[in-house]
Structure 1
Amino acid sequence: MASTAKIRLRPNKIGFGFIALSIAMLLAAINYGNNLVFFISFLLLALMGNSAWQTRRHLKSCQIQLLNPPARFDGEIGMLPVQIESSINNPSILARAGEAEPLTLNLSAGRTELVELALRPMPRGRYATPDVILSTRYPIGLWTAETRWVSLAHWQWIYPKPAGEAPLPTNVLPAHAENADVSLQSGDDQFDHLRAYVSGDALSRIAFKHYARSGQMVTQHWQSSEAIHDEIILDYSQL
């Protein structure tokens, strides 16, 4: 899920030069009363205004959807998968994630493109996915339109890089542990028993104190307090 801010539209260096030239010609036309220069000045200003509208229109036609970035080791360049759709042909859209290098896209009308944007190397930890920034100078390069898409529910996981070859951690349990009880202890649960550790058991349930004393890896099992029923036995023979 992502939300977008308003489109920012500003003239670039070429656009500022174009505006300065148009104003200079307009002042010259006023000074000398030359109708031809008046016509050229207003034509340039009209072209500038139409270019601004076209640039904003092309960027506004883009819609994106952020996907979960795959986990990676620290120091590695990551990839952020993004689905981009445009309602009109967009031959020159720049897309980047945060401060990473931009990617130039050529979008066709009505087609959804799946692209991968580079993510800068980061130290280990959990980080919010950086904002995705779209910009364009199309069609004649006088204006720059830019919009920022903010990630609302995506995180990137970066793990410590191992000394040897090791795969990235996953949230999928091994096949032999599918039936293992890996539920977490709640505040109202009662301790039930210990059993030998099985690969795939939650780390939070390992009895580390027992391991420190005996060297045996065991896991704690808890019983919900809702499953515990108190029984009162009355011996009428004693009455």
Structure 2
Amino acid sequence: MISVPTEWKERLDLRRFFRGEKAVDGPIPLTHRRVFILPNRRGFGLALLLAIQFLAAIHYSNNLAFILTFLLAGIAMQSTLYAFRNLAGLSVRRGKAPPVFAGEPARFELHLDNPSRIHRLGLGARLAGTATTIRFDVAPQSTATLILHAEAEKRGWLPLPTVTFDTSFPLGLFRAWSPVNLRQRALVYPRPAPPGIEPPASPPLGHGARPNPGEEEDFYGFTGYRPGDPLKRIHWKGVAKGQGVHVKQYAGGEAAELVLDWQYTPGADIEARLSRLCRWVLDADAAGTRYSLRLPGVVIGKGRGEAHRARCLEALALFGK
């Protein structure tokens, strides 16, 4: 039994015509192995018309009809070379993929390098699973930067789907395309919960804020009830409305430090708790308050600032992954 080399198996796999080859870090050159060409609807329509015209030329023995048929067929076939040249030789590099929140479109940045002196016209790029195609040109010896959007429905890492570059240049009779898989991913944070367990003047922040004795206390938000919390701080109106037992939280200005604890976070399931913690992290960061985050198996110490915020949100995004 003759064994087929793995490389040839990959080349003969018909799925690579639509899914492309295995994902790599890049850059990916669009060589002859990666560019495919087939007639589109217009091309098949022209082929049918030329076939009818050819039969009519035979039937009437009309030399002018033969010349016109062969001339149009020659021009159409010549366009395949231009379509191939329009894609071949380009190189695709990955760019930035900033974090987003679940429910927002993820932004993938790609760079398309054109090292040749040929002006690449009428190019298109589309992500797998989307219906939107971006149309663009690439000037000679220059780079085009593309921003492609993908739906980010779930938290965690979102890999870049297959990107298909295509062109119907110059006559629109043939479609040349090249599916590309770059090893790139975007981090998706949990979807933030709506502000406030119950609409207060300020959004709820986590458990643990306590004012220093003698300082003026200001209302800060709500937190989950813990055994030992003062009864006078229980939000009895919320209890009467069936919204659970929550404790009013007060802070004394700069002395307030928050402990955002998974254990005392309300929520029906894991995702609801993560959404609430995400909201609290955003609110604490906006208020300039020092805060810490405690998750099962993960403890992030007190801090504030953009780096601390990103670290906490990343821990929430990758929780349980």
Q: TM-score, normalised by structure 1?
A: 0.66
Q: Which residue of 2 aligns with 1:95?
A: 125
Please tell me whether residue 20 in structure 1 is matched to residue 51 in structure 2: no
Q: How many residues align?
A: 173
- CA deviation digits over 1:117-167, x for unaligned, max 9? 12223211213211211011111100111101111x322211102225655
- Bigger shift: residues 47-56 or 82-91: 82-91
1:41 to 63, 69, 90: 69
Name the aligned partner's letter for residue 10 of structure 1. L
Q: TM-score, normalised by structure 2?
A: 0.50
Q: Map 1:51-200; keep pairs closer than 5 Å.
A: 51-86=79-114, 87=116, 88-100=118-130, 101-151=132-182, 153-163=183-193, 164=195, 199=303
Name the aligned partner's letter for residue 30 of structure 1. I
| CA distance in structure 2 between the partners assigned to 1:61 and 1:30 by the alignment | 42
Tell whether the 8 Å contact from 1:68 to 1:155 is kept in structure 2 after alignment: no
Tell whether the 8 Å contact from 2:86 to 2:121 is kept in structure 1 after alignment: no
1:30 to 54, 58, 80: 58
| CA distance in structure 2 between the partners assigned to 1:149 and 1:45 by the alignment | 31
| CA distance in structure 2 between the partners assigned to 1:31 and 1:6 by the alignment | 43
> 1:31 offset after TM fit, Å?
2.1
- CA deviation digits over 1:19-38, x for unaligned, max 9? 11111111221222211111
Please list every run of 5 or more consecutive structure 1 residues that lacks an aligned counterpart in the other structure: 168-196, 204-239
| CA distance in structure 2 between the partners assigned to 1:124 and 1:198 by the alignment | 24
Report SS of the residue matched to 1:141: coil
> 1:198 offset after TM fit, Å?
5.5
Name the aligned partner's letter for residue 157 of structure 1. L
- CA deviation digits over 1:70-99, x for unaligned, max 9? 111000012110111223212211112222
Please list every run of 5 or more consecutive structure 2 residues that lacks an aligned counterpart in the other structure: 1-24, 196-278, 283-300, 313-321
| CA distance in structure 2 between the partners assigned to 1:84 and 1:23 by the alignment | 39
Name the aligned partner's letter for residue 106 of structure 2. G
- CA deviation digits over 1:174-231, x for unaligned, max 9? xxxxxxxxxxxxxxxxxxxxxxx5657x99xxxxxxxxxxxxxxxxxxxxxxxxxxxx
| Greater RCO, CA 8 A, separation 6+ | 1
| CA distance in structure 2 between the partners assigned to 1:116 and 1:161 by the alignment | 23
| CA distance in structure 1 between the partners assigned to 2:53 and 2:153 by the alignment | 52
Tell whether the 8 Å contact from 2:152 to 2:188 is kept in structure 1 after alignment: no
Tell whether the 8 Å contact from 1:7 to 1:56 is kept in structure 2 after alignment: yes
Identity %: 26
Tell whether the 8 Å contact from 2:102 to 2:155 is kept in structure 1 after alignment: yes
Report SS of the residue matched to 2:152: coil
Name the aligned partner's letter for residue 108 of structure 1. A
